[in-house]
Amino acid sequence: MQCVADKHAEIRAEFEKERAHLLERIDELTVGGEIDLDFDDDFADRGQVASEKGEHRVLADTLEAQLKLVEKALARLDEGTYGTCSVCDKPISAERLEVLPATDRCIDHA
């Protein structure tokens, strides 16, 4: 049987991989927090540029939201509060953590 410390080390490694992956994707999409789009000079359709930018913005925002969750989960691993609900302090079920590893809410407070 696996002890909790081993399990947490495994979870941490997963989160760190996820964080690196998210940072990389955000980095590809943005420059200094702004959406970075390189279009050819002959790509003059400004409406389309704007809509592409909008799509990338939505994607970047989604990635940033995921990144925040991952960073919060890593912080909770450091604090030793990972796997407990931030509302009621009760343990979050293993099944729920399996599906949503970065969650900080039990099923009742989801």
* Residue 88 found at the interface with Zn ion (CB under 5 A): yes
User: What's the CA gap between 96 and 107, in Å, rounded?
Assistant: 8
User: What's the CA gap between 38 and 47, in Å, rounded?
Assistant: 15
Q: CB of 110: closest distance to Zn ion in angstroms?
A: 8
Tokens matching residue 77: 């691993």
Near Zn ion by CB under 5 A: residue from 87, 91, 93, 110? 87
Amino acid identity of residue 98, one-letter, is E
Counting every residue written for the chain, the total comes to 110
**Which one of the spans 9-17, 39-47, 72-80, 83-91 is the region binding Zn ion (CB under 5 A)?**
83-91
* 29 backbone dihedrals φ, ψ, rounded to 5°: -85, -30
Distance of alpha carbon 33 from the chain centroid: 16
* Residue 106 found at the interface with Zn ion (CB under 5 A): yes
Near Zn ion by CB under 5 A: residue from 43, 62, 109, 110? 109
Q: CB of 94: closest distance to Zn ion in angstroms?
A: 15
Contacting positions for Zn ion (CB under 5 A): 85, 87-88, 106, 108-109
